[in-house]
Structure 1
Amino acid sequence: MKSLEERLDMVNPLVVFQPLTTLEVTNFIGIVAFSIAGSIKGIEKRMDLLGILTLGFSSSLAGGIIADILLGIHPPVNLVYIPYPTVAFLSSLFTFFLYRKITIKNPLLYADALGLGAFTASGASLAYSVDPRPLLVIIVGTVTSVGGGVLRDILANEIPLILTKEFYASASIVGSSVYFLLMLVRFPPGEASILVLFLTFLLRIIAIRFKWELPRIKSI
Protein backbone atom coordinates (compact mmCIF):
# COMPACT_ATOMS: atom_id res chain seq x y z
CA MET A 1 0.00 0.00 0.00
CA LYS A 2 1.29 3.47 -0.83
CA SER A 3 1.67 5.75 2.20
CA LEU A 4 0.41 9.30 2.30
CA GLU A 5 3.94 10.66 1.85
CA GLU A 6 4.52 8.42 -1.17
CA ARG A 7 1.18 9.46 -2.67
CA LEU A 8 2.11 13.11 -2.29
CA ASP A 9 5.44 12.38 -4.01
CA MET A 10 3.45 11.38 -7.10
CA VAL A 11 2.94 15.06 -7.89
CA ASN A 12 6.70 15.64 -7.98
CA PRO A 13 7.97 15.41 -11.57
CA LEU A 14 11.48 14.62 -10.27
CA VAL A 15 10.37 11.32 -8.71
CA VAL A 16 11.71 8.42 -10.78
CA PHE A 17 9.05 6.19 -12.33
CA GLN A 18 8.32 3.12 -10.26
CA PRO A 19 6.10 0.10 -10.92
CA LEU A 20 2.41 0.70 -10.28
CA THR A 21 1.05 -0.14 -6.85
CA THR A 22 -2.32 -1.77 -6.27
CA LEU A 23 -3.72 1.63 -5.29
CA GLU A 24 -2.64 3.13 -8.61
CA VAL A 25 -3.98 0.15 -10.57
CA THR A 26 -7.42 0.43 -8.93
CA ASN A 27 -7.35 4.19 -9.57
CA PHE A 28 -6.64 3.65 -13.27
CA ILE A 29 -9.37 1.02 -13.53
CA GLY A 30 -11.83 3.38 -11.89
CA ILE A 31 -10.81 6.32 -14.07
CA VAL A 32 -11.22 4.33 -17.29
CA ALA A 33 -14.54 2.81 -16.20
CA PHE A 34 -16.09 6.06 -14.99
CA SER A 35 -14.77 8.01 -17.99
CA ILE A 36 -16.57 5.54 -20.23
CA ALA A 37 -19.72 5.69 -18.10
CA GLY A 38 -19.73 9.50 -18.08
CA SER A 39 -19.08 9.71 -21.81
CA ILE A 40 -21.90 7.27 -22.57
CA LYS A 41 -24.22 9.37 -20.43
CA GLY A 42 -23.20 12.44 -22.43
CA ILE A 43 -23.79 10.63 -25.71
CA GLU A 44 -27.23 9.47 -24.54
CA LYS A 45 -28.01 13.08 -23.64
CA ARG A 46 -26.98 14.13 -27.18
CA MET A 47 -24.15 16.37 -25.93
CA ASP A 48 -21.36 17.56 -28.19
CA LEU A 49 -17.74 16.44 -27.84
CA LEU A 50 -16.94 19.02 -25.15
CA GLY A 51 -19.96 18.00 -23.10
CA ILE A 52 -19.02 14.34 -23.40
CA LEU A 53 -15.43 15.02 -22.33
CA THR A 54 -16.71 17.11 -19.42
CA LEU A 55 -18.92 14.29 -18.16
CA GLY A 56 -16.10 11.79 -18.63
CA PHE A 57 -13.69 13.98 -16.66
CA SER A 58 -16.12 14.79 -13.87
CA SER A 59 -17.24 11.18 -13.46
CA SER A 60 -13.72 9.80 -13.21
CA LEU A 61 -11.85 12.50 -11.30
CA ALA A 62 -14.32 14.26 -8.98
CA GLY A 63 -14.58 11.47 -6.41
CA GLY A 64 -10.82 11.29 -5.93
CA ILE A 65 -10.56 15.07 -5.66
CA ILE A 66 -13.20 15.12 -2.91
CA ALA A 67 -11.44 12.28 -1.09
CA ASP A 68 -8.09 14.09 -1.18
CA ILE A 69 -9.70 17.25 0.20
CA LEU A 70 -11.26 15.27 3.06
CA LEU A 71 -7.89 13.69 3.84
CA GLY A 72 -5.97 16.97 3.69
CA ILE A 73 -4.02 16.12 0.52
CA HIS A 74 -3.29 19.38 -1.25
CA PRO A 75 -3.37 19.90 -4.14
CA PRO A 76 -5.57 16.92 -5.05
CA VAL A 77 -3.54 14.30 -6.89
CA ASN A 78 -6.07 14.03 -9.73
CA LEU A 79 -5.36 17.64 -10.67
CA VAL A 80 -1.56 17.48 -10.75
CA TYR A 81 -0.60 13.86 -11.51
CA ILE A 82 -0.82 14.07 -15.29
CA PRO A 83 -1.40 10.35 -16.08
CA TYR A 84 -4.80 10.42 -14.35
CA PRO A 85 -6.47 13.24 -16.38
CA THR A 86 -4.68 11.97 -19.48
CA VAL A 87 -6.24 8.53 -19.11
CA ALA A 88 -9.63 10.14 -18.42
CA PHE A 89 -9.33 12.25 -21.58
CA LEU A 90 -8.26 9.34 -23.79
CA SER A 91 -10.95 7.01 -22.41
CA SER A 92 -13.63 9.63 -23.05
CA LEU A 93 -12.30 10.31 -26.53
CA PHE A 94 -12.21 6.62 -27.46
CA THR A 95 -15.77 6.20 -26.17
CA PHE A 96 -16.92 9.09 -28.34
CA PHE A 97 -15.44 7.59 -31.52
CA LEU A 98 -16.13 3.91 -30.78
CA TYR A 99 -19.57 4.18 -29.17
CA ARG A 100 -21.41 2.71 -32.16
CA LYS A 101 -19.17 -0.36 -32.06
CA ILE A 102 -20.10 -1.23 -28.46
CA THR A 103 -22.16 -4.42 -28.51
CA ILE A 104 -22.65 -4.93 -24.78
CA LYS A 105 -26.22 -4.36 -23.64
CA ASN A 106 -26.49 -1.45 -21.18
CA PRO A 107 -22.74 -0.63 -21.23
CA LEU A 108 -23.29 2.37 -18.94
CA LEU A 109 -24.44 0.13 -16.08
CA TYR A 110 -21.46 -2.23 -16.33
CA ALA A 111 -18.89 0.55 -16.69
CA ASP A 112 -20.45 2.39 -13.78
CA ALA A 113 -20.43 -0.76 -11.62
CA LEU A 114 -16.76 -1.42 -12.39
CA GLY A 115 -15.85 2.17 -11.55
CA LEU A 116 -17.82 1.91 -8.32
CA GLY A 117 -15.86 -1.18 -7.28
CA ALA A 118 -12.46 0.23 -8.26
CA PHE A 119 -12.91 3.55 -6.49
CA THR A 120 -14.38 1.90 -3.40
CA ALA A 121 -11.18 -0.13 -3.13
CA SER A 122 -8.82 2.78 -3.83
CA GLY A 123 -10.68 5.21 -1.56
CA ALA A 124 -10.86 2.79 1.35
CA SER A 125 -7.20 1.80 1.04
CA LEU A 126 -6.05 5.42 0.82
CA ALA A 127 -8.09 6.40 3.88
CA TYR A 128 -6.75 3.44 5.85
CA SER A 129 -3.19 4.43 5.00
CA VAL A 130 -3.83 7.94 6.35
CA ASP A 131 -5.75 7.01 9.51
CA PRO A 132 -7.08 3.48 10.16
CA ARG A 133 -10.40 4.43 11.71
CA PRO A 134 -13.54 2.62 10.53
CA LEU A 135 -15.79 5.65 9.94
CA LEU A 136 -13.09 7.45 7.95
CA VAL A 137 -12.39 4.40 5.79
CA ILE A 138 -16.08 3.81 5.06
CA ILE A 139 -16.93 7.45 4.32
CA VAL A 140 -13.89 8.14 2.14
CA GLY A 141 -14.31 4.84 0.30
CA THR A 142 -17.94 5.65 -0.41
CA VAL A 143 -17.39 9.30 -1.33
CA THR A 144 -14.55 8.37 -3.68
CA SER A 145 -16.77 5.89 -5.51
CA VAL A 146 -20.02 7.85 -5.75
CA GLY A 147 -18.78 11.47 -5.91
CA GLY A 148 -18.03 11.43 -9.62
CA GLY A 149 -21.33 9.79 -10.48
CA VAL A 150 -23.25 12.36 -8.47
CA LEU A 151 -21.58 15.24 -10.32
CA ARG A 152 -22.11 13.46 -13.65
CA ASP A 153 -25.85 13.10 -13.03
CA ILE A 154 -26.17 16.73 -11.91
CA LEU A 155 -24.39 17.96 -15.05
CA ALA A 156 -26.67 15.71 -17.10
CA ASN A 157 -29.70 17.36 -15.44
CA GLU A 158 -30.74 14.24 -13.55
CA ILE A 159 -31.36 13.50 -9.89
CA PRO A 160 -28.27 11.56 -8.71
CA LEU A 161 -28.83 7.83 -8.82
CA ILE A 162 -27.82 7.32 -5.18
CA LEU A 163 -30.69 9.56 -4.05
CA THR A 164 -33.48 7.95 -6.01
CA LYS A 165 -33.25 4.19 -6.37
CA GLU A 166 -31.26 0.99 -6.44
CA PHE A 167 -28.57 -0.56 -4.27
CA TYR A 168 -25.74 1.78 -5.29
CA ALA A 169 -23.96 3.64 -2.50
CA SER A 170 -24.91 0.74 -0.24
CA ALA A 171 -22.65 -1.56 -2.26
CA SER A 172 -19.77 0.84 -1.72
CA ILE A 173 -20.48 1.06 2.01
CA VAL A 174 -20.37 -2.74 2.22
CA GLY A 175 -17.14 -2.86 0.20
CA SER A 176 -15.43 -0.20 2.32
CA SER A 177 -16.51 -1.95 5.51
CA VAL A 178 -15.13 -5.25 4.25
CA TYR A 179 -11.82 -3.58 3.44
CA PHE A 180 -11.51 -2.29 7.00
CA LEU A 181 -12.38 -5.71 8.44
CA LEU A 182 -9.80 -7.39 6.21
CA MET A 183 -7.17 -4.97 7.47
CA LEU A 184 -8.10 -5.83 11.06
CA VAL A 185 -7.27 -9.49 10.44
CA ARG A 186 -3.96 -8.55 8.76
CA PHE A 187 -5.09 -9.43 5.23
CA PRO A 188 -2.55 -8.35 2.59
CA PRO A 189 -3.55 -4.82 1.46
CA GLY A 190 -3.12 -5.48 -2.26
CA GLU A 191 -5.25 -8.62 -2.21
CA ALA A 192 -7.82 -6.86 -0.02
CA SER A 193 -8.19 -4.07 -2.58
CA ILE A 194 -8.73 -6.53 -5.44
CA LEU A 195 -11.23 -8.50 -3.37
CA VAL A 196 -13.18 -5.37 -2.46
CA LEU A 197 -13.18 -4.22 -6.08
CA PHE A 198 -14.80 -7.44 -7.26
CA LEU A 199 -17.13 -7.68 -4.26
CA THR A 200 -18.52 -4.18 -4.80
CA PHE A 201 -18.79 -4.74 -8.56
CA LEU A 202 -20.67 -8.02 -8.07
CA LEU A 203 -23.00 -6.53 -5.46
CA ARG A 204 -23.90 -3.75 -7.88
CA ILE A 205 -24.47 -6.14 -10.79
CA ILE A 206 -26.60 -8.44 -8.64
CA ALA A 207 -28.57 -5.43 -7.40
CA ILE A 208 -29.27 -4.42 -11.01
CA ARG A 209 -30.23 -7.97 -11.96
CA PHE A 210 -32.64 -8.49 -9.06
CA LYS A 211 -33.73 -4.84 -8.74
CA TRP A 212 -32.62 -4.42 -5.14
CA GLU A 213 -33.79 -1.16 -3.61
CA LEU A 214 -33.75 0.42 -0.17
CA PRO A 215 -37.10 1.02 1.58
CA ARG A 216 -39.08 4.07 0.53
CA ILE A 217 -42.44 5.65 1.21
CA LYS A 218 -44.78 4.77 -1.63
CA SER A 219 -46.76 7.52 -3.29
CA ILE A 220 -50.34 7.83 -2.17
Structure 2
Amino acid sequence: MMRFVSLILIITNYIGIVAFSVSGSIKAIEKRMDLLGIITLGFSTSLAGGILADLLLGITPPTNLIYLPYPTASFLTSIMTFLYFRKFNIINKILIYADALGLGAFTASGASLAYHLSPSPLLVIMVGTITAVGGGVLRDILANDIPLVLTKEFYATSAIIGSSAYYILAYLNIPAYTNSSIVLLLTFFLRVIAIMKKWKLPSIN
Protein backbone atom coordinates (compact mmCIF):
# COMPACT_ATOMS: atom_id res chain seq x y z
CA MET A 1 0.00 0.00 0.00
CA MET A 2 2.76 2.45 0.94
CA ARG A 3 4.59 1.72 -2.32
CA PHE A 4 1.38 2.52 -4.22
CA VAL A 5 0.96 5.77 -2.27
CA SER A 6 4.58 6.66 -3.06
CA LEU A 7 3.92 6.08 -6.76
CA ILE A 8 0.92 8.40 -6.66
CA LEU A 9 3.02 11.08 -4.94
CA ILE A 10 5.71 10.77 -7.61
CA ILE A 11 3.19 11.06 -10.47
CA THR A 12 1.45 14.11 -9.00
CA ASN A 13 4.82 15.67 -8.20
CA TYR A 14 5.97 15.36 -11.81
CA ILE A 15 2.73 16.86 -13.11
CA GLY A 16 3.13 19.78 -10.71
CA ILE A 17 6.82 20.26 -11.45
CA VAL A 18 6.33 20.42 -15.21
CA ALA A 19 3.26 22.66 -14.98
CA PHE A 20 4.78 25.09 -12.47
CA SER A 21 8.12 25.14 -14.30
CA VAL A 22 6.28 26.31 -17.42
CA SER A 23 4.38 28.87 -15.34
CA GLY A 24 7.51 30.25 -13.69
CA SER A 25 9.51 30.25 -16.92
CA ILE A 26 6.84 32.16 -18.84
CA LYS A 27 6.62 34.69 -16.00
CA ALA A 28 10.39 35.17 -16.30
CA ILE A 29 10.14 35.56 -20.07
CA GLU A 30 7.41 38.18 -19.64
CA LYS A 31 9.75 40.03 -17.25
CA ARG A 32 12.53 39.84 -19.89
CA MET A 33 14.86 37.77 -17.71
CA ASP A 34 17.79 35.87 -19.19
CA LEU A 35 18.16 32.08 -19.29
CA LEU A 36 19.44 31.90 -15.71
CA GLY A 37 16.47 33.96 -14.52
CA ILE A 38 14.09 31.70 -16.45
CA ILE A 39 15.60 28.55 -14.90
CA THR A 40 15.60 30.16 -11.44
CA LEU A 41 11.92 31.11 -11.61
CA GLY A 42 11.03 27.72 -13.06
CA PHE A 43 12.90 25.96 -10.24
CA SER A 44 11.50 28.22 -7.52
CA THR A 45 7.91 27.95 -8.72
CA SER A 46 7.98 24.18 -9.08
CA LEU A 47 10.05 23.09 -6.08
CA ALA A 48 9.98 25.76 -3.34
CA GLY A 49 6.54 24.77 -2.03
CA GLY A 50 7.58 21.14 -1.66
CA ILE A 51 10.83 22.13 0.06
CA LEU A 52 8.94 24.24 2.58
CA ALA A 53 6.38 21.47 3.18
CA ASP A 54 9.15 18.92 3.83
CA LEU A 55 10.80 21.23 6.34
CA LEU A 56 7.48 21.70 8.16
CA LEU A 57 7.03 17.92 8.29
CA GLY A 58 10.56 17.34 9.56
CA ILE A 59 11.76 15.72 6.33
CA THR A 60 15.40 16.76 5.97
CA PRO A 61 17.10 17.28 3.68
CA PRO A 62 14.06 18.13 1.53
CA THR A 63 13.26 15.56 -1.16
CA ASN A 64 13.34 18.17 -3.93
CA LEU A 65 17.02 18.85 -3.18
CA ILE A 66 18.29 15.27 -3.00
CA TYR A 67 16.08 13.37 -5.46
CA LEU A 68 17.78 14.61 -8.63
CA PRO A 69 15.03 13.69 -11.15
CA TYR A 70 12.80 16.43 -9.67
CA PRO A 71 15.17 19.40 -10.19
CA THR A 72 16.29 17.85 -13.48
CA ALA A 73 12.68 17.81 -14.71
CA SER A 74 12.33 21.46 -13.65
CA PHE A 75 15.55 22.54 -15.40
CA LEU A 76 14.70 20.70 -18.63
CA THR A 77 11.14 22.07 -18.70
CA SER A 78 12.40 25.62 -18.17
CA ILE A 79 14.96 25.25 -20.96
CA MET A 80 12.35 23.79 -23.33
CA THR A 81 10.00 26.67 -22.52
CA PHE A 82 12.84 29.12 -23.25
CA LEU A 83 13.57 27.45 -26.60
CA TYR A 84 10.01 27.06 -27.87
CA PHE A 85 7.93 29.76 -26.22
CA ARG A 86 7.83 31.80 -29.46
CA LYS A 87 5.75 29.01 -31.00
CA PHE A 88 3.05 29.64 -28.40
CA ASN A 89 0.37 31.97 -29.77
CA ILE A 90 -1.57 32.13 -26.52
CA ILE A 91 1.10 32.51 -23.84
CA ASN A 92 -1.23 34.05 -21.27
CA LYS A 93 -3.69 31.17 -21.55
CA ILE A 94 -0.87 28.64 -21.32
CA LEU A 95 0.40 30.38 -18.18
CA ILE A 96 -3.07 30.36 -16.59
CA TYR A 97 -3.76 26.69 -17.27
CA ALA A 98 -0.23 25.55 -16.40
CA ASP A 99 -0.46 27.41 -13.11
CA ALA A 100 -3.91 25.95 -12.35
CA LEU A 101 -2.71 22.42 -13.17
CA GLY A 102 0.33 22.83 -10.95
CA LEU A 103 -1.89 24.14 -8.17
CA GLY A 104 -4.07 21.04 -8.37
CA ALA A 105 -1.19 18.58 -8.61
CA PHE A 106 0.72 20.01 -5.65
CA THR A 107 -2.42 20.32 -3.53
CA ALA A 108 -3.00 16.60 -4.01
CA SER A 109 0.67 15.76 -3.49
CA GLY A 110 1.12 17.84 -0.33
CA ALA A 111 -2.17 16.72 1.24
CA SER A 112 -1.37 13.08 0.51
CA LEU A 113 2.10 13.31 2.02
CA ALA A 114 0.81 14.99 5.16
CA TYR A 115 -2.10 12.57 5.60
CA HIS A 116 0.10 9.49 5.41
CA LEU A 117 2.56 10.95 7.91
CA SER A 118 -0.10 12.11 10.36
CA PRO A 119 -3.84 12.13 9.56
CA SER A 120 -4.57 15.46 11.23
CA PRO A 121 -7.08 17.68 9.36
CA LEU A 122 -5.26 20.95 10.07
CA LEU A 123 -1.90 19.46 9.07
CA VAL A 124 -3.29 18.06 5.82
CA ILE A 125 -4.95 21.35 4.87
CA MET A 126 -1.95 23.51 5.80
CA VAL A 127 0.68 21.33 4.11
CA GLY A 128 -1.47 20.79 1.03
CA THR A 129 -1.99 24.53 0.68
CA ILE A 130 1.63 25.49 1.38
CA THR A 131 2.91 22.90 -1.11
CA ALA A 132 0.56 24.30 -3.74
CA VAL A 133 1.08 28.05 -3.26
CA GLY A 134 4.59 28.34 -1.78
CA GLY A 135 6.39 28.21 -5.11
CA GLY A 136 4.02 30.70 -6.70
CA VAL A 137 4.58 33.15 -3.84
CA LEU A 138 8.35 32.97 -4.33
CA ARG A 139 7.93 33.29 -8.11
CA ASP A 140 5.94 36.50 -7.76
CA ILE A 141 8.37 37.96 -5.21
CA LEU A 142 11.35 37.25 -7.48
CA ALA A 143 9.41 38.78 -10.40
CA ASN A 144 8.71 41.89 -8.29
CA ASP A 145 4.95 41.29 -8.24
CA ILE A 146 2.53 41.19 -5.32
CA PRO A 147 2.05 37.44 -4.63
CA LEU A 148 -1.17 36.24 -6.21
CA VAL A 149 -2.11 34.44 -3.00
CA LEU A 150 -2.23 37.77 -1.13
CA THR A 151 -4.56 39.50 -3.57
CA LYS A 152 -8.29 39.08 -4.08
CA GLU A 153 -7.77 36.16 -6.48
CA PHE A 154 -9.52 32.85 -5.66
CA TYR A 155 -6.15 31.05 -5.59
CA ALA A 156 -5.08 29.73 -2.21
CA THR A 157 -8.77 29.19 -1.46
CA SER A 158 -8.86 26.58 -4.23
CA ALA A 159 -5.95 24.75 -2.59
CA ILE A 160 -7.60 24.95 0.83
CA ILE A 161 -10.80 23.43 -0.55
CA GLY A 162 -8.83 20.75 -2.40
CA SER A 163 -6.78 19.83 0.70
CA SER A 164 -9.95 19.67 2.80
CA ALA A 165 -11.51 17.37 0.21
CA TYR A 166 -8.44 15.12 0.35
CA TYR A 167 -8.77 14.70 4.10
CA ILE A 168 -12.49 13.94 3.90
CA LEU A 169 -12.05 11.40 1.09
CA ALA A 170 -9.10 9.74 2.84
CA TYR A 171 -11.10 9.57 6.07
CA LEU A 172 -13.83 7.79 4.09
CA ASN A 173 -11.20 5.27 2.90
CA ILE A 174 -11.28 6.36 -0.74
CA PRO A 175 -8.27 4.73 -2.50
CA ALA A 176 -5.18 6.97 -2.73
CA TYR A 177 -5.10 7.08 -6.54
CA THR A 178 -8.77 7.99 -6.82
CA ASN A 179 -8.47 10.55 -4.01
CA SER A 180 -5.44 12.28 -5.53
CA SER A 181 -7.05 12.35 -8.97
CA ILE A 182 -10.27 13.86 -7.61
CA VAL A 183 -8.39 16.52 -5.61
CA LEU A 184 -6.13 17.42 -8.55
CA LEU A 185 -9.11 17.89 -10.86
CA LEU A 186 -11.25 19.62 -8.23
CA THR A 187 -8.55 22.19 -7.43
CA PHE A 188 -7.72 22.70 -11.10
CA PHE A 189 -11.33 23.30 -12.14
CA LEU A 190 -12.03 25.51 -9.14
CA ARG A 191 -9.12 27.72 -10.17
CA VAL A 192 -10.10 27.78 -13.84
CA ILE A 193 -13.76 28.53 -13.08
CA ALA A 194 -12.69 31.25 -10.64
CA ILE A 195 -10.70 32.89 -13.44
CA MET A 196 -13.55 32.58 -15.94
CA LYS A 197 -16.20 33.81 -13.50
CA LYS A 198 -13.87 36.37 -11.89
CA TRP A 199 -14.44 34.99 -8.40
CA LYS A 200 -12.78 37.10 -5.75
CA LEU A 201 -12.67 37.11 -1.98
CA PRO A 202 -14.01 40.19 -0.13
CA SER A 203 -11.59 43.07 0.37
CA ILE A 204 -11.61 46.69 1.44
CA ASN A 205 -11.39 48.93 -1.62
Query: Where on the TM-score scale, by shorter chain, does this alignment land: which range?
Result: over 0.9
Whole-Å Cα distance in 2 between the matches of residues 145 and 213 of structure 1? 19
Contact 1:150–1:162, Cα closer than 8 Å, also in 2 = yes
Distance 2:122 2:104 in 1: 19
After superposition, the C-alpha distances for 1:150-176 in whole angstroms (9 at most, x for unaligned) are 000000001100101210000000000
Match of 2:163 in 1: 176
2:126 to 139, 145, 149: 139
Aligned to 1:15: none
Tell me what 1:10 maps to: none
Q: Distance in 2 between matches of 1:210 and 1:180?
A: 27
Q: What residue identity is the alignment partner of 2:180?
A: S
Query: 2:46 aligned with 1:65, yes or no?
Result: no
CA distance in 1, matches of 2:2, 2:93: 35
| Counterpart contact for 1:2–1:23, Cα < 8 Å | no
Higher CA-based Rg: 1
TM-aligned CA deviation for residue 190 of structure 1: 1.1
Mapped to 2, the partners of 1:199 and 1:146 lie a distance apart of: 16
Give yes or no for contact 1:45–1:156 (8 Å, CA) kept in 2: yes
Q: Decide whether the 8 Å contact of 1:64 with 1:78 is kept in 2.
A: yes
1:158 aligned counterpart, secondary structure: coil
Residues 28 and 38 in structure 2, CA contact (< 8 A), matched pair in contact too: yes
Partner of 2:178: 191
1:121 pairs with 2:108 = yes
Q: Indicate conservation of the 8 Å contact 2:152/2:203, yes or no.
A: no
The two structures have a TM-score, normalised by structure 2, of 0.96
Q: Which amino acid aligns with 2:77?
A: S
Long gaps (5+) in structure 2: none
Shift of residue 2, structure 1, vs aligned partner: 4.1
3-state DSSP of counterpart to 1:75: coil
Structure richer in helix, relative to its length: 2
Q: Which residue of 2 aligns with 1:206?
A: 193
Distance in 1 (CA, whole Å) between partners of 2:20 and 2:40 is 12
1:38 counterpart = 2:24? yes
Q: Percent identity?
A: 66
CA RMSD in angstroms, aligned pairs only = 1.5
SS of equivalent to 1:47: coil
- The one-letter amino acid of 1:197's match is L
Tell me the number of residue pairs that the alignment of Structure 1 and Structure 2 aligns: 204
**2:195 aligned counterpart, secondary structure:** helix
**How does the TM-score come out when normalised to structure 1?**
0.90
1:102 is matched with: 88
Uncovered stretches (5+) of structure 1, i.e. residues with no partner:
8-19
Partner Cα distance (1:62, 1:134) in 2? 23
Moved more, 165-174 or 20-29: 20-29
Deviation at 1:102, TM superposition (A): 1.5
140-149 or 105-114, larger mean C-alpha shift: 105-114
AA in 2 matched with 1:74: T
Residue type of the partner of 1:205? V
TM-superposition CA deviations, 1:74-127 (whole Å, max 9, x none): 100000000000000000000000101123452111110000000000000000
Could you list the per-position Cα deviations for residues 2-48 of structure 1 after superposition, in whole angstroms to 9, with x for gaps in the alignment?
A: 47xx99xxxxxxxxxxxx71110000000000000000000000000
Task: Write out per-residue CA displacement over residues 42-81 of structure 1, whole angstroms, 9 at most, x where no aligned residue.
Answer: 0000000000100000000000000000000010000000
2-structure distance, mates of 1:88, 1:186: 33
